[in-house]
Amino acid sequence: MSTLQEMAEAVISGNAKKVKELAEKALTEGFAPQGIINDGLIAGMNVVGVRFKNNEVYVPEVLIAARAMHAGMDVVKPLLTDSAIQDKGTVLIGTVKGDLHDIGKNLVRMMLEGAGYKVIDLGVDIAPDKFAQAVEEHQPQIVGLSALLTTTMVQMKNTMERLKDYPVKVMIGGAPVTQKFADEIGADAYASDAATAVEKAEQLMAS
């Protein structure tokens, strides 16, 4: 097995120490940083994403795999130029105003990072104005909104309205959110889980 295949396997099994060692080994073997990310770290995270979607693994396994992926990223990232990291696009993500749930949002962030996006995570309880300010500052192509409470879903609508004059696509998700709701408020995409969020991001970038 090549070093990068071994790295992908180590990401899948969540072995952060091994991923770090293999990232260092791959660099000494002359692999390019972008190749290590794509064919080692992201390749492993993609497998985890598919397994998560198929209910073959659960949240803890995804978090452990993502931690392992980050251990490899930490080794390789300093060697990348900014432009290479941003290759795939920028996603700004946050949980809407009044809502403190962030486990699902963090999973979506990790999967997007794993797929090669630059993700700016604003955190939780983010008001529409704060989203707008961050859009101006970071110029993302996609904004991701998370809500876990039926009482805070309305903030998605408010945020959409606040962002309507910016050239961004808005993707929404969270347990109470549905495709129907996304259509009602005019969101560009809805995803029910983190792996689908990556697929939808790819579609939004291509559209």
**What residues make contact with ligand B12 under the rule CB under 6 A?**
59, 98-105, 107-108, 144-146, 148-151, 171-176, 191, 193-194, 197
Smallest distance, ligand B12 to C-beta of residue 195, A: 7
Token output for 141: 């192509």
Residues 197, 207: Cα–Cα separation, whole Å: 15
For residue 26, the surrounding DSSP H or E stretch is helix 16-28
Q: Please, which residue, 9 or 193, has the CB nearer to ligand B12?
A: 193
Half-sphere exposure of 111 (CA within 13 A, CB side): 29
89/106 Cα distance (integer angstroms): 18
Q: How far is CA 9 from CA 1, 2, 64, 165, 188, in A?
A: 10, 11, 13, 44, 34
* Nearest residue (CB) to ligand B12, 70 versus 101: 101
Q: Which is nearer to ligand B12, 86 or 151 (CB)?
A: 151
Nearer to ligand B12, 98 or 120 (CB): 98
For residues 105 and 95, is the Cβ–Cβ distance under 8 A? yes
**Would you say 6 or 102 has its CB closer to ligand B12?**
102
Q: What is the CA radius of gyration of the chain?
A: 17
DSSP 126: B
User: Of 74 and 161, which has the nearer Cβ to ligand B12?
Assistant: 161
| The two structure tokens encoding residue 66 | 């993502």
Which residues fall within 8 angstroms of residue 74, CB to CB, at 6 or more apart? 20
